[in-house]
A and B are shown apart, each in its own frame.
Chain A
């Protein structure tokens, strides 16, 4: 008997009938259904992107949904708090010795500087009072602090924003500056979007963020603090003329503005960071200055939103 072992015979010529299985989408009708559903979802996503990006029509829905999710996020944060504290404790123990030595050196330097600065501060206050000097808006005088917990930190390398638990119900609006709590007080960013009970804060490390800053030790060194080119939270203090002296260790603070058409969004004298590195190239008319932010922007738990007293 001739042997004929073709695949066609094996499958189609067999007298044994296979049982038809069910439940999995492989037929043409289910393929069509699959394509329709996926196409619909993609189309719906594109519509959502367009509407959300071009108008504020979906802001109400988004704000309500964010408020509904908030209790779950707060609960998750509270449940995880002991574990985060444990990780922080181990990290602190590992770095404690080096940090202790560094802080002792810093305290000695600051004590010496404080003695020098105290006289200058008293003199400055006396002169301002005598001249009835009207300076730029300051945190203490013109802003009301609203403390908020951080609901979520940045979710991806290109997302330089956090979500906080204060929203329009607490008076927070887009454009309000955000700083770290009082112990540090460094600049965190700016409110870019506010819902009723939560707000999205764009960090100063966002590539579109620019803050007018000034060197505290050298008032002529004024420029823009913005994101550095490399990875991480490093900032650069750009467009500072070479003639202005800037040294490593100097503190950069927000410059604020005295008024005019384009007022600074930030009040004056909020610490931004310390100068880590200064380089001058022959071809550039500006310093190349690298700044380390005061605030660890990758691990924020609470922030303070500065709400203007008079809008």
Chain B
């Protein structure tokens, strides 16, 4: 059931990004798909985040007729990483979604740049650097409504259920 809900949320986010938001310049540097994915990964863990990231990345690559696998790779890593953060140190911290979006937006932009460069395609670093501040701000603004919506759809598990192993040092 969670998988279906996540698929619907990410698919709607992808359509919104492809057909609506990409027409407006400020949203070109941001990504509602990335924000939705990170919110889901934060609440449902690394495995869920990685699989969801791979799936929605594939959808985006197919829709834009881009090189298959590029967006999948970046979103798989982003979903996994933030999922791990959600499973470990980010529990019940107010700043966790904002910090995740801030960091992953930057890493995603530069990751995309590096992949383009490795593939021998145009990789204008200046364009990325110029667009990044606006992208970060818009993504952070999107985080508030998107995370609230995703949290409503995927209520976080109780803390007592999550903690089941303690490692003692010394």
Q: Is the CB of A73 within 8 A of B15?
A: yes
Q: Is the CB of A38 within 8 A of B80?
A: yes
Q: Is the CB of B19 within 8 A of A23?
A: no
Given contacts A7-B168, A208-B122, A153 and B22 within 8 Å (CB-CB)? yes
Q: Is the CB of A157 within 8 A of B29?
A: yes
Given contacts A21-B162, A158-B112, A231 and B131 within 8 Å (CB-CB)? yes
Residues of chain A in range 131-180 having any CB-CB distance to chain B below 8 Å: 151-161, 163
Q: Is the CB of B20 within 8 A of A76?
A: yes
In this complex, the member of B23, B70, B116, B166 whose beta carbon has the largest number of chain A beta carbons within 10 angstroms is: B23
Q: Is the CB of B127 within 8 A of A158?
A: yes
**Is the C-beta of B104 less than 8 angstroms from some C-beta in chain A?**
no
- Residues in chain B near residue A42, CB distance under 8 A: 73, 76-77
**Is the C-beta of A103 less than 8 angstroms from some C-beta in chain B?**
no
Q: Is the CB of A26 within 8 A of B87?
A: yes
Residues of chain A in range 1-42 having any CB-CB distance to chain B below 8 Å: 7-8, 11-12, 20-27, 33-34, 37-38, 41-42
- Residues in chain B near residue A90, CB distance under 8 A: none
Q: Is the CB of B22 within 8 A of A38?
A: no
**Is the C-beta of B150 less than 8 angstroms from some C-beta in chain A?**
no
Q: Is the CB of B46 within 8 A of A48?
A: no
Of chain A, the residue at the smallest CB distance from B161 is A21
Residues of chain B in range 1-49 having any CB-CB distance to chain A below 8 Å: 11, 15-20, 22-25, 28-29, 31, 45-47
- Residues in chain B near residue A155, CB distance under 8 A: 17-18, 22, 28, 31, 60, 64
Of chain A, the residue at the smallest CB distance from B72 is A45
Smallest distance from the beta carbon of B107 to chain A beta carbons, Å? 14
Q: Of the 9-residue stretches A51-59, A107-115, A271-279, A283-291, which lies at the interface with chain B?
A: A51-59
- Residues in chain A near residue B54, CB distance under 8 A: 41, 44-45
Of chain B, the residue at the smallest CB distance from A64 is B62
Q: Is the CB of A11 within 8 A of B73?
A: no
Q: Is the CB of A298 within 8 A of B73?
A: no
Residues of chain B in range 67-85 having any CB-CB distance to chain A below 8 Å: 67-70, 72-73, 76-77, 80
Of chain A, the residue at the smallest CB distance from B55 is A41
Name the contact of B25 in the complex, choosing from A77, A83, A298 (C-beta under 8 A). A298
Q: Is the CB of A41 within 8 A of B161?
A: no
Given contacts A45-B73, A58-B68, A73 and B160 within 8 Å (CB-CB)? no
Q: Is the CB of B162 within 8 A of A24?
A: yes
In this complex, the member of B60, B72, B135 whose beta carbon has the largest number of chain A beta carbons within 10 angstroms is: B72
Residues of chain A in range 58-73 having any CB-CB distance to chain B below 8 Å: 58, 62-63, 65-66, 69, 72-73
Q: Which residues of B contact A (CB under 8 A)?
A: 11, 15-20, 22-25, 28-29, 31, 45-47, 50-51, 54, 57-70, 72-73, 76-77, 80, 87, 109, 112-113, 115-116, 119, 121-124, 126-128, 130-132, 135, 157, 160-166, 168
Q: Which residues of A contact B (CB under 8 A)?
A: 7-8, 11-12, 20-27, 33-34, 37-38, 41-42, 44-53, 58, 62-63, 65-66, 69, 72-73, 76-77, 80, 83-84, 87, 151-161, 163, 193, 195, 198-200, 206-208, 227, 229-231, 298-299, 301
What 4 A-B pairs come out closest when comparing CB atoms?
A48-B69, A157-B131, A45-B73, A65-B62
